């Protein structure tokens, strides 16, 4: 039998710690202390670590929340964060150009650029010596942290939740509860169903109760989120999984720039139609993110094609203002009923995007110990649940969110995060996914069926009851209907900076960002001509060669992860 040495070492460590510490108990700060403890308390000298994140965290508070202060007490570490102004890729490109880096970076797809510039250090030796909780958390997935078939170094610690289970639908097409309620909760299965609902409601209610003009559908497409709200849905609604800008043949692993799929042309034709009949926000392709968010928070936008993390704070504002009917229900909309959505197809563990320590780090050992604390059972409970006695209690061995905290989380989520810090710091380091239980038998995160039901608003409950479901995810095809994708997801496959694939990809992306809005905003009788020009431009830019080069990367990923 083949023995996994890493796993055995982790098990022995757990046994040793159990023997030393006994059963789980609360510490003086009230934070739960399950079986696997934090790293040894060696050096708690106050220290500030600089961190640049490619994702903006609007509520970031320099760790001055209740949870943030406990993290600093436990580690001695404070985090000074830097977020992008505009495009995250520009922020990291500037770092490379200036050779000036913070201690840690969450560089997303720019990690390859930093790696190629020699900015990221190999974390494998540090993890071996100082990262027992990191090794325990990743377990058998440690091999997926390897950079490539030629370089087995670890330069990124993935922040995707390990062994994550999807208990709720955060994407799809969204309609306000008020819309589906007014229309008697009609089936919303196709883009035509979605369109009909928007039109029928707008015809009855051209303005909000506050007298503001209704916006049937707005797309957050003025910045990089055009990928999320406009182009990714073209693939999702035509029966393929989210592989970023590519479609991957599941049998041959051949990659194709997904706009080349003729099926998607008809999705964009539908958006062109929506614009033509006045149901699409004419500012969709020029508005800034803040403008989009302000519209959503006002309650004016009846429908979205988005994912909840993109408008979560705005939906929280609607709840705080008592506009629960103007928050959103989720539907697995397709171009027509011949297609099936693959949103919940299992990708296996998605290594690739996460946090790195740079060559400029003042103290890489303190940095990896900090990340190891966050990966510990104690750290994970603190990040997700908060402080025992202040944010949650334990009843009959089960963690339960305190009533006043739960009420604030549901009805005033922004204040909840700012005050408590719960879930604020999850993106900094490794973590367990939803549905994973700790040694006490409790879930690491607060996203599990029973807790989700507790957090439904009355508007949610009415809509779910009308559609005879317990969770909006029940409307989607089950993940059990699909095989696991051996390449994970193509959007987190790195392209080497300056490589032929990378250069061709940038050219094709620039063409897409010009032609897609042009096609959607064109007169309907001009749509085909614009689309034909789009296809010709891609061909001239070398899209076929791009497909060949990216196919090699996909096949390399399959080999790296599965052999």
> Tens of pLDDT along 259-303?
999 999 999 999 999 999 999 999 999 999 999 999 999 999 999
Tokens of 453: 């039901």
Clarify whether residues 120 and 182 are in a common domain: no
In a domain, 73, yes or no: yes
Q: What predicted TM-score, i.e. pTM, was given to this entire model? A: 0.84
Nearest-angstrom CA–CA distance, 67 and 58: 17
Phi, psi of 13 (to 5 degrees): -65, -45
Clarify whether residues 204 and 310 are in a common domain: yes
CATH number at residue 141: 3.40.190.10
Clarify whether residues 202 and 55 are in a common domain: no
Per residue in 340-361, pLDDT (tens digit) is 999 999 999 999 899 999 999 9
Clarify whether residues 181 and 298 are in a common domain: yes
Q: Which domain holds residue 98?
A: 5-164+348-378+413-442
* Residues 6 or more apart whose Cβ sits within 8 Å of residue 348: 484, 485, 486, 488, 561
Clarify whether residues 463 and 497 are in a common domain: no
| 39 has a pLDDT exceeding 60 | no
> How far from the centroid of its chain's Cα atoms is residue 206's Cα?
34
Per residue in 118-158, pLDDT (tens digit) is 999 999 999 999 999 999 999 999 999 999 999 999 999 99
Nearest-angstrom CA–CA distance, 441 and 196: 47
Mean pLDDT calculated for residue range 18-32: 37
Clarify whether residues 190 and 205 are in a common domain: yes
Contact indicator for 522, 269 with CB cutoff of 8 Å: no
Nearest-angstrom CA–CA distance, 60 and 498: 34
| Among the listed residues 281, 291, 332, the one whose alpha carbon sits nearest the alpha carbon of residue 314 | 291
Nearest-angstrom CA–CA distance, 481 and 301: 34
Clarify whether residues 353 and 502 are in a common domain: no
Nearest-angstrom CA–CA distance, 350 and 268: 29
| 24 has a pLDDT exceeding 60 | no
Model confidence at 496, in pLDDT bands (50, 70, 90)? confident
In a domain, 281, yes or no: yes
Contact indicator for 124, 365 with CB cutoff of 8 Å: no
Tallying the residues shown for the chain, one arrives at: 563
Nearest-angstrom CA–CA distance, 268 and 275: 11
In a domain, 391, yes or no: no
Clarify whether residues 332 and 360 are in a common domain: no
In a domain, 384, yes or no: no
The kind and range of the H/E element at 419 are helix 413-420
Nearest-angstrom CA–CA distance, 214 and 279: 10
Give, in order, the Cα–Cα distances in Å from 416 to each of 37, 93, 127, 403. 27, 35, 34, 13
Clarify whether residues 43 and 113 are in a common domain: yes
The mean predicted confidence, pLDDT, of the chain is: 91
In a domain, 398, yes or no: no
Proportion of the chain above pLDDT 70, given as a percent:
93
Please, is 2 exposed, middle or buried when counting C-beta atoms within 10 Å of its C-beta (0-12, 13-18, 19+)?
Answer: exposed
Give how many domains the chain has, as a whole number: 3
Nearest-angstrom CA–CA distance, 427 and 55: 9
| 30 has a pLDDT exceeding 70 | no
């Amino acid at each position: 039998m083949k023995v996994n040495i890493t796993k055995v070492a982790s098990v022995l460590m757990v046994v040793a710690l159990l023997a030393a510490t006994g059963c789980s108990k609360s510490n003086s700060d009230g934070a739960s202390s399950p079986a696997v403890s934090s790293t040894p308390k060696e050096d708690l000298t106050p220290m500030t670590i600089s961190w640049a994140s490619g994702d903006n965290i609007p509520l970031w508070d320099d760790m001055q929340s209740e949870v943030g202060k406990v993290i600093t007490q436990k580690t001695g570490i404070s985090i000074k964060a830097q977020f992008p102004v505009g495009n995250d890729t520009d922020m990291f490109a500037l770092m490379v150009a200036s050779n000036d880096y913070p201690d840690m970076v969450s560089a997303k797809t720019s990690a390859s650029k930093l790696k190629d510039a020699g900015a990221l250090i190999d974390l494998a030796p540090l993890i071996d010596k100082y990262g027992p909780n990191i090794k325990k958390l990743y377990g058998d997935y440690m091999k997926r942290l390897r950079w490539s078939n030629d370089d087995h170094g670890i330069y990124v610690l993935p922040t995707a939740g390990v062994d994550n289970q999807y208990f709720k639908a955060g994407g799809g097409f969204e309609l306000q509860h008020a819309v589906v309620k007014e229309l008697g909760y009609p089936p919303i299965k196709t883009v035509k169903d979605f369109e009909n609902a928007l039109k029928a409601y707008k015809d009855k209610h051209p303005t909000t109760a506050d007298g503001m003009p209704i916006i049937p559908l707005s797309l957050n497409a003025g910045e990089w989120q055009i990928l999320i709200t406009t182009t990714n849905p073209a693939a999702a609604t035509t029966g393929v999984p989210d592989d970023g800008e590519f479609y991957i043949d599941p049998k041959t692993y051949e990659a194709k720039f997904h706009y080349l799929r003729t099926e998607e042309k008809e999705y964009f034709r539908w958006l062109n139609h929506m614009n033509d009949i006045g149901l699409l926000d004419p500012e969709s392709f020029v508005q800034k993110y803040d403008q989009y968010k302000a519209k959503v928070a006002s309650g004016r936008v009846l429908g979205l094609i988005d994912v909840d993390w993109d408008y979560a704070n705005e939906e929280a504002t609607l709840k705080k203002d008592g506009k629960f009917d103007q928050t959103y229900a989720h539907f697995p909309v397709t171009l027509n009923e011949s297609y099936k959505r693959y949103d919940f197809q299992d990708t296996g563990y998605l290594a690739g995007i996460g946090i790195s320590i740079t060559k400029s780090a003042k103290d890489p050992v303190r940095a990896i110990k900090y990340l190891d604390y966050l990966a510990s059972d104690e750290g994970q409970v603190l990040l997700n649940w908060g402080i025992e006695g202040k944010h949650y209690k334990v009843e009959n061995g089960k963690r339960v969110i305190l009533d006043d905290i739960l009420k604030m989380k549901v009805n005033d989520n922004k204040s909840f995060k700012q005050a408590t810090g719960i879930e604020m710091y999850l993106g900094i380091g490794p973590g367990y996914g939803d549905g994973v239980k700790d040694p006490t038998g409790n879930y690491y995160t607060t996203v599990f069926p029973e807790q989700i039901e507790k957090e439904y608003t009355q508007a949610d409950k009415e809509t779910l009851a009308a559609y005879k479901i317990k969770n909006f995810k029940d409307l989607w095809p089950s993940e059990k209907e699909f095989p696991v994708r051996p390449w994970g997801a193509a959007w987190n496959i790195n392209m080497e900076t300056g490589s032929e694939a990378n250069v061709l990809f940038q050219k094709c992306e620039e063409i897409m960002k010009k032609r897609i809005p042009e096609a959607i905003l064109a007169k309907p009788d001009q749509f085909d001509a614009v689309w034909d020009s789009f296809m010709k431009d891609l061909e001239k830019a070398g899209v076929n060669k791009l497909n060949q080069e990216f196919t090699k990367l996909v096949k390399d990923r399959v080999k790296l992860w599965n052999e």
